[in-house]
Amino acid sequence: MDININEIARVAGVSIATVSRALNNNGSVKEETRQKIQRIARELNYKPNPIARGLSRKKTDTIGVILPEMVDEFFTEIIRGIDEEAYRTNNYVMVASSYSQRNIVETLLEFMGSGRVDGLILMIPQINDDVSTLIYKSKRPIVLLNNNIKNNKFVSFNINNFQGAYNVVEHLIGHGYQNIAIIQGPEGNIDADERYRGYLQALKNHNLPVQNSLIIPGEFNIKSGYYGFIRLMSQPEKPDAIFTANDMMALGVYEAARTSNIKIPQDVAVVGFDDIFLSRLLSPRLTTIHVPIVELGRKSMRYLLKMINNQVDPKKSYCEELTTGLVIGGSCGCKNSTAPTLF
């Protein structure tokens, strides 16, 4: 039998209003009474009805999350960070995946107009004018993740992709590698664009030429890493090192190297970006850039809840950039590893 606040009020010998105030930590209730009511609620295994609770408080305790097509560990880790913070604060998460700009607009309109969410966390590769206008006019707070908007209108949390890419390419240069290739991410993706920019800047600062034959398009997936490697190693001028713009493509590179009987790092060094769990199982351990993916989700959720609860001005812009860190494995030629031992 589902326990409601009527039953708690009967056992505690108080009014329903007192139970409501005590459970929601609202209003004036004696501390002794509050503790008694909360103890009885626990003993009766009371679970609040989120719909009824939302109607009474004019809140849904639900957060909408719109992410790109969720095909790898990066996005599941973001969701994990968001969900952990939601659980800690007795909120719920409703996740939608966007496949196109039209889909994004439709999803945004549905979330904004349905009244089913108190706020939104939005991560999409590119934000066009239509989406930007919707965000600006939204009556519900919105937090952006890794966005391409270069103005001060919105609230956003971003990863310093440029610096991470610069650091890992500079690490390769420090080994003496001269012909450093890159397998890029998808065209128009802000993460991919910033990582490519970091790659170019590292070459420029160390007076290394940019060779178009060593710049290969990719899609942030295993398949594009696999075929990108085959294409690079089939050229007359082969790279001595490869920067894959994410770890999923590095997995494809390792598989292609294995089937081609090419040794990493003896024949070609390989580095990645993201430090996903699967990359830690590669042999040799992948040198990569650690991204605080879970923390990105947690921080965005914490700030959104502050906006919803008017602890910060929901109309005031705010931007926070999370730093990355170099994780050294053996794939770059290093003998000493900073990577944690898993087994």
Fold of 161-291: Rossmann fold (3.40.50)
Per-residue model confidence as pLDDT tens digits over 116-169: 889 999 887 677 777 788 888 888 899 999 876 655 678 999 999 999 999 999
Highest CATH level, class, for 62-159+293-322: alpha beta
Task: Tell me the per-residue pLDDT of 278-317, one tens digit each, with 9 for 90 and over.
Answer: 888 999 999 999 999 999 999 999 999 999 999 998 888 8
- Comparison of pLDDT for 50 and 40, the residue scoring more: 40
CATH superfamily of 5-48: lambda repressor-like DNA-binding domains (1.10.260.40)
| Average pLDDT rounded to a whole number, residues 49-60 | 59
pLDDT band at 218 (very low <50, low <70, confident <90, very high): very high
pTM over 0.85: no
- Which of these ranges, 60-64, 90-94, 338-342, has the smallest mean pLDDT? 338-342
Phi and psi angles of residue 174, each rounded to the nearest 5 degrees, phi first: -60, -25
From 264, 256, 266, 211, select the one nearest 230 (Cα to Cα): 256
Domains of the chain, by residue range, sit at: 5-48, 62-159+293-322, 161-291
Residue 311 is predicted with a pLDDT of 93
Burial grade of 259 (CB within 10 A; 0-12, 13-18, 19 or more): exposed
Average pLDDT (268-276) is 96
pLDDT recorded at residue 153: 78
Task: State the Cα–Cα distance between residues 36 and 44, nearest whole angstrom.
Answer: 12
5-48 and 62-159+293-322: same fold?
Answer: no
Residue 27 or residue 247, greater confidence: 247
